[in-house]
């Protein structure tokens, strides 16, 4: 299997390129618009044909590369059915299969960070978007976020995956690349709670400032802007 994890320095976003092998079909998760060239270079070098691109949720801190990749490669744009994006080709519901050749991802509706957040489970790993981060969890204070929904998504869905499952989030701000479900259950400070109310209390008291890009990124991601639109 080909598995590439690429990092965007500006927004600390992780983007994933997945394929069963050189010369085969590929899938991209959570691309950042400014890095399109480097994704296309990786795809070209490995002779991969990009067929699907997934955004785990409507991002508030960067403009997604989903639409530009669609424009340049004609790949299908995939998001969860709760997404308010206007440019999605395939909307998956909870527990649906997304296939490229012999690779299979299963969608998991994991709202809380936003009301459109999905995670994607693939054999030994899960792409959690911002639902579960390494030693953290996604904020729940905008885009119809809900700390109670987040608690349920975490404790009733994501953390129920096999404990050795690798966790690949959409962001990391401390140089960590991945974790495991087991490691997060034991060490993630946000998960050391015994009730949804306790979790909500932690989230209420975070007092985070809004992402600098939010007013630009959210509408851009809903409309599916391309590079041409943003350099105008
Ligand atoms: Fe996010």
Averages of pLDDT over runs of 10 residues in the chain (232 residues) are 97 97 97 97 98 98 96 98 96 98 97 98 98 98 96 98 98 97 98 98 93 90 87 66
* The model's pTM: 0.97
Secondary structure of the chain in HEC code, one letter for each residue: CEEEEEEECCCCEEEEEEECCCCCEEEEECCEHHHHHHHHHHHHHCCCEEEEEECCCCCCCCCECHHHHHHHHCCEEEEECCCCCCCCCEEECCCCEEEECCEEEEEEECCCCCCCCEEEEECCEEEEECCEECCEECCCCCCCCCHHHHHHHHHHHHHHCCCCCEEEECECCCCCCCEEHHHHHHHCHHHCCCCHHHHHHHHHCCCCCCCCCHHHHHHHHHHCCCHHHHHC
Distance, CA 130 to ligand 1 centroid (Å)? 5
CA of 19 to the centre of ligand 1 (A): 25
Task: Determine the distance separating the centroid of ligand 1 and the alpha carbon of 60, expressed in angstroms.
Answer: 6
- Please name each of the domains of the chain with its CATH number: 2-209 (3.60.15.10)
Question: What is the structure's pLDDT at 125?
Answer: 98
pLDDT on residue 122: 98
Calculate how far, in angstroms, residue 24's C-alpha sits from the geometric centre of ligand 1.
30
């Amino acid at each position: 299997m080909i598995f590439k994890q690429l990092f965007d320095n500006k927004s600390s976003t992780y983007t994933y390129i997945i394929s069963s092998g050189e010369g085969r079909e590929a899938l991209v998760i959570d691309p950042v618009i400014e890095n399109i060239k480097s994704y296309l270079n990786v795809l070209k070098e490995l002779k991969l044909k990009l067929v699907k691109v997934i955004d785990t949720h409507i991002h508030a801190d960067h403009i997604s590369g989903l639409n530009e990749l669609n424009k340049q490669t004609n790949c299908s744009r995939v998001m969860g059915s709760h997404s308010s994006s206007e440019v999605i080709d395939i909307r998956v519901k909870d527990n649906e299969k997304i296939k490229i050749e012999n690779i299979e991802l299963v969608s998991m509706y994991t709202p809380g960070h936003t009301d459109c957040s999905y995670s994607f489970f693939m054999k030994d790993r899960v792409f959690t978007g911002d639902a579960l981060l390494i030693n953290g969890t996604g904020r729940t204070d905008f885009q119809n976020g809900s700390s109670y929904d987040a608690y349920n998504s975490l404790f009733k869905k994501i953390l129920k995956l096999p404990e050795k499952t690798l966790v690949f989030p959409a962001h990391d701000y401390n140089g960590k690349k991945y974790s495991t479900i087991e490691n997060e259950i034991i060490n993630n400070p946000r998960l050391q709670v015994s009730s949804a109310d306790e979790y909500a209390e932690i989230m209420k008291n975070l007092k985070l400032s809004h992402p600098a890009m939010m007013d630009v990124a959210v509408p851009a991601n809903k409309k599916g802007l391309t590079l041409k639109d943003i350099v105008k």
